[in-house]
Chains A and B, each alone.
Chain A
Amino acid sequence: MTNNPTDTQVIQDCTILSIRNLNVHAGNHHILKDINLEIPKNRITVLLGPSGCGKTTLLKCMNKLTDLYRELKVTGNIFIEDDDILNTSKNIPSIRQKMGLLSQRPYPLPVSIYKNVAYGIKLKGIRDRKLIDYNVEKHLKEVGLWNEVKDRLHSPATSLSIGQQQRLCLARGLAVKPRIILADEPTSALDPISSKIIENLFRNLKENYTIILVTHVLRQAIRLADHVIFMYNGEIIEQGTPDELFNNPKSEKLKEYMVEGN
């Protein structure tokens, strides 16, 4: 981590999410070990590390999907805009709406393209048809899908290619007006061209959203990251700017990972 006080100060000033002493156990297995981190606002933060190092679990802690797994014991604090979501009495759906999730492979809802995006809009309580139509178009344009689907809005979402489905899921997520986008290896099932489209979208979306991207692809991290967190075996090994980490890795693990990754 950086020792430069001014840099730390900058990060703290525009932190949107911070995690304190987060531990996750599954039975005797200690999955996440004493995680402390800050996620800067309107930046792309990359959680980098090999498969099975706890990146996805960390992401699932942030929107409380860990609740679905009884065997996971989560302790610590996760603050999103001063709300400790792990220990709050606020209702979980409203916390989850602060974040949009993009998973490894797209899971559109089993309805039409239009209804997928409209579902997210309706969850925010909007019932007016014209307003829904307007927002569906807006969010589909936001992910660059509008021109490709405007003539078949009422076809099943599954008729789209997998790359288009992933963008549709992103549009659906944006429709609930999140502050943060959680992306869990969103390009791992996609071809290089679709992956590139998603990466470019992230670059544009960070103006209005904070993006937390889980990846094990070093090159993707180098291409996109404003802030990097390198994890190994449930621990944060190093975190900082890409320049700090990639040009001057301190730990043996990261050095090794960079050699293997290239």
Chain B
Amino acid sequence: MNRWKIIEEKIFIALSAIATYSLIAVLGLIIVIVFVKGFNALSLDMVIKTPKGGYYYGGEGGVLNAIVGSIYIAFGATLIAIVLGMPAALFLNVHLVRHKKTQETIRYLLDVLWGIPSIVYGAFGFTLMLFFGLNASLLAGIITVALLVTPIMVRTFDEVLSTIPRGLHEASLALGSTKAETSYKVMLKQGFSGFITAALLAFGRGIGDAASVLFTAGYTDLIPVNLDEPAATLPLAIFFQLGSPIPEVRERAYAASTILTIIILIISLSARFLSNRYSKTNIK
């Protein structure tokens, strides 16, 4: 190799390495800053108490209302996404397997839905809410977030299903399985780790989104006990506290961010753990 080629090679390796490691550094920096800033305000009270009078002026209490509200909304929305998304992804890969054009069109439309900003879902959810005469409530929040996360759920699961070898699909049908048996006994089994990843990704996206719940879920200091009551969410708790002129309250916003980040870290770690666990019998 001549000298220039060696130099060229070194420059490209260096540039790629810088790009890769700076991305990781940014992620690390976000986590460190959020944790450091939130650490002072993070206390057991933050996690186990709801806001008391004067909380937003530095008074006593915590963000339990928002933690519970967020979990309710993300859980409800993920449940809807599973109920709609799992059959949709299986239908796409088993029943529509001979209709390539329909399949591609549906995938494209789902990708468009995935790309729509969450504030648009928020606005749509708000219109829907007014149309049905609902108030800002847990139910309206769940439905809106479900609209946001279902395309993510379907496409993520669909990507995994579409990598399943055609031979396995054919082997199942050749045995005389119906399409439904092929879907739920073979494809779902083979793609189960992908299904878990998809559901947890939907949950993670749902729990962290602020714009879709801004108008639809409302905000309250209480923990909702009914679907028609408003629900607080962590992203909005962060948003409201971060805008406060009082430094103590702003610190609590970082504490709430820390809590949200920890929840999301737990979810992505469980996604990894569970998907490894369920892929043991998978054919390669």
B175, B282, B284 — most chain A CB neighbours (10 Å): B175
Q: Report the count of interface residues on B (CB-CB < 8 A).
A: 28
Q: How far is the CA of A169 from the CA of B174 in the complex (A)?
A: 11
Q: How far is the CA of A148 from the CA of B174 in the complex (A)?
A: 26
Taken residue by residue from 155 to 175, chain B's Cβ proximity to chain A (1 for < 8 Å, 0 otherwise) reads as 000000000011111111111
B190 touching A110, Cβ below 8 Å: yes
Which chain A residues lie closer than 8 Å to B165 at the CB level?
Answer: 107
A63 touching B185, Cβ below 8 Å: no
Which chain B residues lie closer than 8 Å to A14 at the CB level?
Answer: none
A54 on the interface (CB 8 Å rule)?
no
Taken residue by residue from 94 to 131, chain A's Cβ proximity to chain B (1 for < 8 Å, 0 otherwise) reads as 10110111011101111110000001100100000000
Which chain B residues lie closer than 8 Å to A67 at the CB level?
Answer: 98
Q: How far is the CB of A178 from chain B (nearest CB, A)?
A: 9
B54 on the interface (CB 8 Å rule)?
no
Q: How far is the CB of B136 from chain A (nearest CB, A)?
A: 45
Q: How far is the CB of B74 from chain A (nearest CB, A)?
A: 29
B175 touching A119, Cβ below 8 Å: yes
A50 on the interface (CB 8 Å rule)?
no
Q: List B239-284 residues whose CB lies under 8 Å from chain A.
A: 280-284
For A103, give the chain B residue with the smallest CB separation: B167
A99 touching B98, Cβ below 8 Å: no
Taken residue by residue from 23 to 63, chain B's Cβ proximity to chain A (1 for < 8 Å, 0 otherwise) reads as 00000000000000000000000000000000000000000
Which chain A residues lie closer than 8 Å to B170 at the CB level?
Answer: 65, 68, 101, 103, 107
Q: How far is the CA of A169 from the CA of B170 in the complex (A)?
A: 13
Q: How far is the CA of A140 from the CA of B277 in the complex (A)?
A: 28
A158 touching B98, Cβ below 8 Å: no
B97 on the interface (CB 8 Å rule)?
yes
For B100, give the chain A residue with the smallest CB separation: A70
Which chain B residues lie closer than 8 Å to A105 at the CB level?
Answer: 167
B281 touching A112, Cβ below 8 Å: yes
Q: How far is the CA of A199 from the CA of B183 in the complex (A)?
A: 33
Q: List B169-224 residues whose CB lies under 8 Å from chain A.
A: 169-178, 181, 185-186, 189-190
B10 on the interface (CB 8 Å rule)?
no
Which chain A residues lie closer than 8 Å to B171 at the CB level?
Answer: 101, 103, 107, 109, 169
Which chain B residues lie closer than 8 Å to A104 at the CB level?
Answer: 167
Q: How far is the CA of A69 from the CA of B173 in the complex (A)?
A: 13
A173 touching B280, Cβ below 8 Å: no
Which chain B residues lie closer than 8 Å to A112 at the CB level?
Answer: 281
Taken residue by residue from 137 to 150, chain A's Cβ proximity to chain B (1 for < 8 Å, 0 otherwise) reads as 00000000000000
A85 on the interface (CB 8 Å rule)?
no
For B190, give the chain A residue with the smallest CB separation: A110
Which chain B residues lie closer than 8 Å to A123 at the CB level?
Answer: 175-177, 181
A156 touching B98, Cβ below 8 Å: no
B5 on the interface (CB 8 Å rule)?
no
Which chain B residues lie closer than 8 Å to A111 at the CB level?
Answer: 189, 281
Report the tally of A-B residue pairs with Cβ distances under 8 A: 84
A245 on the interface (CB 8 Å rule)?
no
A216 on the interface (CB 8 Å rule)?
no
Which chain A residues lie closer than 8 Å to B177 at the CB level?
Answer: 93, 123
Q: How large is the interface on A (under 10, 10 to 19, 20 to 34, 35 or more residues)?
A: 20 to 34
Which chain A residues lie closer than 8 Å to B284 at the CB level?
Answer: 158
Which chain B residues lie closer than 8 Å to A70 at the CB level?
Answer: 98-100
For B97, give the chain A residue with the smallest CB separation: A68
Q: How far is the CA of A103 from the CA of B175 in the complex (A)?
A: 12
B190 touching A63, Cβ below 8 Å: no
A157 on the interface (CB 8 Å rule)?
yes
B167 touching A107, Cβ below 8 Å: yes
A97 touching B281, Cβ below 8 Å: no
Q: How far is the CA of A65 from the CA of B168 in the complex (A)?
A: 12
Q: How far is the CA of A86 from the CA of B283 in the complex (A)?
A: 32
A93 touching B176, Cβ below 8 Å: yes
For A93, give the chain B residue with the smallest CB separation: B176
Q: How far is the CA of A186 from the CA of B176 in the complex (A)?
A: 20
Known: A109-B172, A110-B168, A173-B174. 15 other contacts (CB 8 A): A63-B174, A65-B170, A68-B97, A93-B173, A96-B173, A101-B171, A107-B170, A109-B168, A110-B186, A110-B190, A123-B177, A156-B281, A157-B281, A157-B283, A158-B284
* Listed A/B pairs (27) with beta-carbon separation below 8 Å: A65-B170, A68-B169, A68-B170, A69-B98, A70-B100, A93-B177, A94-B176, A96-B173, A96-B176, A101-B170, A101-B171, A103-B170, A107-B170, A108-B283, A109-B168, A109-B185, A110-B186, A110-B190, A110-B282, A112-B281, A119-B175, A156-B281, A157-B283, A158-B283, A158-B284, A176-B175, A176-B176
